[in-house]
A and B are shown apart, each in its own frame.
Chain A
Amino acid sequence: MQSQIKYIHQQLVDKQISCVDLVQQRLDRLKQNTHGSVNTLLEADALKRAQAVDAKLANGESIGLLEGIPFGVKDVFMLQGTHTTASSAFLKDYKSAYTASAIQKLLDAGAIPIVKENCDSFGHGSSNENSIFGAVQNAKDSELVAGGSSGGSAVNVAKDFTVFSIGGDTGGSVRQPAGYNGVYGLKPTYGRISRYGLMAYASSTDCVGPLAKSVEDIRIVLNAISGKDVKDQTTYKSSQIDEGALENTAGIKTVGYFKNLLDNEGMDPSIKADFMSALEQIKAKGIEVKALDFMDADTLVSTYYILAMAETASNLSRLDGTNYGNRIGAENLIESYAVTRSNNFSEETKRRVVGGNQVLSQGFSDEIYLKSLAIRDQLTADFERFFDDVDILLSPVTPGLPPKVGDSLKDPLAMYLSDAFTVGFSLGQLPTLTVPQGTATGIQITAAKTDDERVLQFAHLLEETL
């Protein structure tokens, strides 16, 4: 099975390349920052870790599969002692005091973090233009956006600057940039991977997710970072997914797709045509394909953004410049809060915080917030009903092609609507993987809650089908 991790591991074991050379090569590529994907390079620490791996190999000791493998970290994850900025002015000088659980598990496995990656500020964006480090350019065409919010992570994987990267996905922030840049990106079942040490955006949908160049590499990294964590009590105990299990696709007999979302007027004709063609190829493998009716795109997007904004308004209320962050002093405490937040949050972050407080304020909370929760309940029930009938749900990742750099920020509503295919699975807390096949921005594969294994099984089948 194709795997960059296994290939590089074997090179290290066979001493075809030293770990220091491997890491230095990747760092040299990142230093050029050709696509704006780099916030901070972790050069000194990475080389120190690489030397330790080389020393083990020189002593004839064995190394683990992830040992010495260089990876990227979206700049919203805590990694002790490193700058963790969330691509924001607010935290531009902030240093992590501790390490996120998912990243710690990778460190424990011997993987080497080499870069903190550009992203939309606090995860607020779908284009990776909302960043104090500037826009990230698409790996395939520099005039286009990388997508967001984990745009830097997707580009670094696509350009082979990192072997894999760890992103965060709240409403599509791993899956959409993966689709725009032609790599795999997984949003696991909510709770499969600990969120401890991931800066909170919308806590009820925030997920940690790997990006890589093969299904097998996604599987390897997912296994390394999954599991119950007392520091995030929404996590659950999950089983390892074996490599052999990916070959076992006999249980997948029926797939469903949302016909009504494809008929939406905002749908790019080429993506729709390519998606329908992919369904035909899947049918030819003897798998039944069923058309399903789902919520309309406007309701999906509005429900997601209203709930996400309410949660981010609450989560970001802790950012007031008192204990950390770029405090701006004023004549009293209240004024200091206001000046600090007004001058340090980007326009998009302010829009979401203000929108969230609007949702939660008196007169709106029943009418808007509780109704959005009720719609989310209905959506969850719809998903349960669908999975009584089908084994897998398939959808495009995006309704359109990546926009040009500079276009998305002009029309926030259009940017929100571009998330129509990703946000529903976030609200449903379902495992969903972007595969770089089928359409120009890929295809999403979704299974029932906690059945991440089935998602990877079907992705492996598509590797051989499309």
Chain B
Amino acid sequence: MNKVMTVDVLSSIKGAKPSETINKLFEVINQADLSTANAGNSNKNAVPLDSLREDNVVESSNLEKQLIVENFPQEKNGYLVVAKVIEA
């Protein structure tokens, strides 16, 4: 695989290219009077270790399971059909 991951590959969107609009946002940040030296992230949304929820398996209801199956893009005998990933 090519080592250069272009935005169309990264995004799985055909023909995607960096846009002029986004480049303008980048220009503003490039010119902003700040260095990355202070980068921390003071909006800490990480959860303290002492308040993690219990690591328990919770069984889904039958209705929930039924709806998940209804949402399968392709289904066969109650199983999800996925694209072939290994060539024979």
**Interface positions of A (Cβ within 8 A of B):** 80-81, 94-98, 190-191, 203-204, 230, 233-234, 298-299, 301-303, 305-306, 309, 313, 317, 320-327, 329-330, 332-334, 336-339, 341-342, 345, 350-351, 353-355, 357-358, 360-362, 364, 366-368, 370-378, 380-381, 412-413, 416, 427, 429
Contacts and interface: CB of A to CB of B under 8 A. Distances in A.
Contacts of A375: 29, 32, 34
Contact of B73 (A324, A377, A412): A324
Interface of B: 5, 7-8, 10-19, 21-22, 24-26, 28-30, 32, 34-43, 45, 47, 51-53, 60, 63-64, 67-68, 70-74, 80, 82-85
Contact of B24 (A299, A325, A345, A413): A413
Contact of B13 (A204, A299, A353, A374): A353
B21 to A, nearest CB: 5
Given A299-B28, A332-B83, A371-B34, A339 B67 contact: no
B82 A368 contact: no
Residue in B8, B15, B16, B45 whose Cβ sees the most chain A Cβ within 10 Å = B16
Given A97-B68, A371-B29, 14 more contacts: A80-B64, A98-B64, A303-B29, A313-B11, A325-B71, A330-B83, A338-B14, A350-B13, A354-B8, A355-B21, A355-B22, A366-B36, A370-B36, A378-B34
Residue in B12, B24, B71 whose Cβ sees the most chain A Cβ within 10 Å = B12
Contact of A368 (B17, B29, B53, B84): B29
Contacts of B38: 374, 377-378
A374 B34 contact: yes
- Give the dominant DSSP class at B's interface: loop
A305 B52 CA distance: 31
B55 to A, nearest CB: 12
A360 B7 CA distance: 10
Contacts of B41: 373, 376-377
A334 B64 CA distance: 29
A305 B25 contact: yes
Contacts of A203: 45
Contacts of A323: 71-73, 80
8 contacts: A97-B67, A233-B52, A306-B25, A332-B84, A342-B13, A342-B14, A361-B5, A368-B29
Contacts of B15: 342
Contacts of A412: 21
A41 to B, nearest CB: 19
Contacts of A230: 53
